Amino acid sequence: MAPAKVYKNYIGGEWVESRTGKTFENLNPADNRDVVGIFQASGKEDVDDAVAAAKTAFEKWRLVPAPKRAEIIFRAGEILTERKEDYARDMTREMGKVLKETRGDVQEAIDTAYFMAGEGRRLFGATVPSELPNKFAMALRVPIGVVGMIAPWNFPMAIPSWKIFPALVCGDTCVIKPAEDTPLSTINLVRALIDAGLPKGVVNIVTGFGPEAGSPIVNHPDVRAISFTGSSEVGRIIGEAAARTFKPCSLEMGGKNAIIVLDDANIDLAVDGAVWGAFGTTGQRCTAASRMVVQKGAYDEFVSKFAQQAKSLKVGAGLDEASDMGPQINAQQIETTTKYVEIGKSEGAKVLAGGNRLNKGDQAHGWFFEPTIFGDGHAKMRIAQEEIFGPVATVIPVKSVDEAVEIANGTMYGLSSAIYTRDINKAFRAIRDIDAGITYINAPTIGAEVHLPFGGVKATGNGHREGGLGAIDFYCQWKSVYVDYSDKLQRAQIDTGE
């Protein structure tokens, strides 16, 4: 086998080695003998260099007209379209999910590029009447400065694109630290931007681990805002650190998303949705459906069809087009899944499908786990409360729509939710009463589109949104401008004309 390629940090428009002199291996989760690449294990000094480069670049970038900034993003979208297959294959190799999903991940970056490119000719502010005569008032969106970005591994190109593209169109520059398991896809994304003509220093990448390479970004005084996607535990650390220096901080974190299935639902449709929601991305989405809350009249049919379909999924390497579900990302995630399956059994839930690690034959060097379903679940069980981030779903029987909504709302999280019903009244009731950032009707909890706000409530987020309008609100700040052309001193609230 050829020696693994060495990838460098991207700082000030140059590919550079880390000043720590340290590197780490990025392994294929389907076969950990396959080294995807050697990456820089960066530290504070690298972050200092990257922030300095971003700060210098900001002075010019903020003055580039937004439609021109947007043209670069548009071209990056075109380049990503040309390279979609190659980048999807790189992503499957480093992250594990099946090719049709990594193609979707690249597509999400392309969609985001096109949406944000259009935003270059909008970035709408507001012009409003002044309360005083001969005075003009408006609110403009202006850039923030250097934004620090910390990304997870489950959407290795889509999530960085949700952060980088809106920041760029708003006129910000950035330093991004990809997750240690998936740095290559961020590098590929940024390569598209470089080839599209991005000026030096506007986007900088430092690869490495959270405490060493992520924390210095959060704490750097010249970083003016932070965008983080990852676990609620790390989000709390980052939110607290950002608060100390008054940085705006967008946190997108965990979920324990429920699909409600009512008696009147199209059960086959609900089962298809449950399988995709629970086992897409091997259950490693923050929007994964990990709880199926099923009304008693539909319960038996639902669980038997759900278990049957889960058992028929082909688990295998994502690069094999025949695979339905790829491996988990790493040893730690497999351990977590294994632990929760034991917890579920000890809590009295019944294994209806799966429950085991797959590590025989071809799969001995990967992190494979069977699609796993627990039946007879109870809302208060740990498997129904805690985020597992693996291919494990718990089915909970309920009597009524009221009870179902109460259970859907009864966790610390509030990201996504779904209800299957043919009763329009109950659907609207769910839209109104489910305490989550996203609600799907007759579709699973996954499948967000890039132009709608994405995010959640409670331990899922701190009030910001990614995607479309939500992102523009985060990456710009407001400047209110008053132009007085009366040629005399006018005093708001005092010169009332009385």
Residues engaged in binding ligand ADP (CB under 6 A): 150-153, 177, 179-180, 209-211, 214-215, 218, 230-231, 234, 237-238
Smallest gap, in angstroms, from Cβ of residue 233 to ligand ADP? Answer: 7
**How is 11-24 classified by DSSP, letter by letter?**
ETTEEE--TT--EE
Distances (CA, A) of 471 to 25, 75, 358: 33, 20, 40
Closest to 310 (Cα-Cα) out of 391, 420, 396, 416: 391
Smallest gap, in angstroms, from Cβ of residue 179 to ligand ADP? Answer: 4
Taking the mean position of all CA atoms in its chain, how far away is CA 64? 28
Q: Is 286 a catalytic residue?
A: yes
Q: Which residue is nearest to ligand ADP (CB)?
A: 210
Q: Is 180 a catalytic residue?
A: no
**353-362 burial, b for 16+ CB within 10 Å, e for fewer?**
bbbebbeeee
Q: Which amino acid is at 187?
A: I
The catalytic residue among 101, 252, 387, 466 is 252
Upper half-sphere CA count for residue 169 (Cβ side, 13 Å)? 31
Closest to 215 (Cα-Cα) out of 192, 199, 232, 239: 239
Q: Measured from the CB atom, is 29 or 214 closer to ligand ADP?
A: 214
Smallest gap, in angstroms, from Cβ of residue 125 to ligand ADP? Answer: 33
Smallest gap, in angstroms, from Cβ of residue 227 to ligand ADP? Answer: 11
The catalytic residue among 170, 174, 249, 286 is 286
Q: Measured from the CB atom, is 57 or 151 closer to ligand ADP?
A: 151
Q: Measured from the CB atom, is 81 or 336 closer to ligand ADP?
A: 336
Closest to 149 (Cα-Cα) out of 134, 166, 135, 133: 166
Smallest gap, in angstroms, from Cβ of residue 235 to ligand ADP? Answer: 7
The dihedrals phi and psi of 63, each to the nearest 5 degrees, come to -95, -10
Upper half-sphere CA count for residue 352 (Cβ side, 13 Å)? 21
Smallest gap, in angstroms, from Cβ of residue 238 to ligand ADP? Answer: 6
Q: Where are the alpha helices (DSSP H) in 196-231?
A: 215-219
Q: Measured from the CB atom, is 102 or 232 closer to ligand ADP?
A: 232
d(CA 193, CA 209): 24
Q: Measured from the CB atom, is 243 or 492 closer to ligand ADP?
A: 243
Smallest gap, in angstroms, from Cβ of residue 208 to ligand ADP? Answer: 8
Taking the mean position of all CA atoms in its chain, how far away is CA 9? 22
Q: Measured from the CB atom, is 107 or 336 closer to ligand ADP?
A: 336
Closest to 229 (Cα-Cα) out of 193, 176, 282: 176
Sheet with 225-229, edge to edge strand ranges: 14-16, 9-11, 203-205, 173-177, 146-150, 225-229, 249-252
Q: Measured from the CB atom, is 15 or 209 closer to ligand ADP?
A: 209
Neighbours of 498 (CB within 10 A): 3
The four Cα atoms 404, 450, 53, 7 give a dihedral, to 10 degrees, of 90
Q: Which residues are catalytic?
A: 252, 286
